[in-house]
């Protein structure tokens, strides 16, 4: 159990070093979640004399690590500090769900429900961050005609 706790402590220290207060607090609670789940596993194995086995600890560690990472991913994907960041997250999510993680300019603009100027600012910001790449694509059926599309870089 101590080895499993050290793994979550290392992730908590890394988050603290990166000044990520959300991840720091989430990883701080992972240790207690791991302990509770290992105890639950032990009770389900033998409710009269529960003993936390290595199998219980390994299961609890895998479960907690997966769920914590998933929770942090979901928070990063859906929580923004301001409205502009919210729009950036919205565009990123639209591209993540698109086939091949790319979408033509006109389709993405329609789905963003914002003006062309704000759209351009969002694209520029995400491009400079390295999250999105503008690419030229050939239109099927229209010979020689190209258009702009955006590709999510992950």
Strand ranges across the sheet with 132-138: 102-104, 146-152, 132-138
Q: Which residues pair with residue 136 across a beta bridge?
A: 148
* 136 neighbors 147 (Cβ within 8 angstroms): yes
pLDDT for the residue 142:
64
Instruction: Output Rg (C-alpha) for the chain, integer angstroms.
Output: 22
pLDDT tens, position by position, 47-86 = 999 999 999 999 999 999 999 999 998 887 777 778 999 9
How many CB atoms are closer than 10 A to CB 45?
A: 14
Angle among Cα 74, 75, 76 to the nearest 5 degrees reads 90
SS (H, E, C) 91-130: HHHHHHHCHHHEEEHHHHHHHHCCCHHHHHHHHHHHHHHC
- Ordered domains of the chain (ranges, CATH): 2-78 (no CATH), 83-152 (1.10.10.10)
Strands (E), the chain: 102-104, 132-138, 146-152
Answer whether 0.75 is exceeded by the pTM.
no
pLDDT for the residue 144:
65
Mean pLDDT by 10 residues, the chain (154 residues): 90 92 91 95 94 95 96 83 91 95 95 96 97 88 79 92
């Amino acid at each position: 159990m101590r080895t499993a706790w050290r793994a979550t402590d290392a992730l908590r220290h890394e988050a603290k070093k990166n000044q990520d207060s959300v991840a720091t607090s989430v990883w701080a609670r992972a240790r207690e979640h791991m302990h509770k789940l290992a105890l639950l596993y032990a009770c389900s194995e033998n409710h009269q004399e529960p003993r936390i086995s290595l199998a219980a600890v390994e299961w609890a560690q895998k479960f907690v690590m997966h769920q914590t990472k998933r929770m942090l991913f979901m928070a990063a994907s859906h929580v923004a500090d301001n409205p502009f960041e919210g729009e950036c997250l919205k565009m990123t999510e639209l591209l993540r769900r698109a086939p091949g993680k790319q979408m033509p300019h006109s389709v993405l603009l329609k789905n963003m429900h914002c003006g062309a100027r704000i759209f351009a600012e969002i694209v520029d910001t995400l491009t400079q961050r390295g999250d999105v790449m503008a690419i030229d694509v050939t239109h099927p059926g229209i010979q020689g005609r190209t258009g702009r599309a955006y590709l999510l870089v992950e």
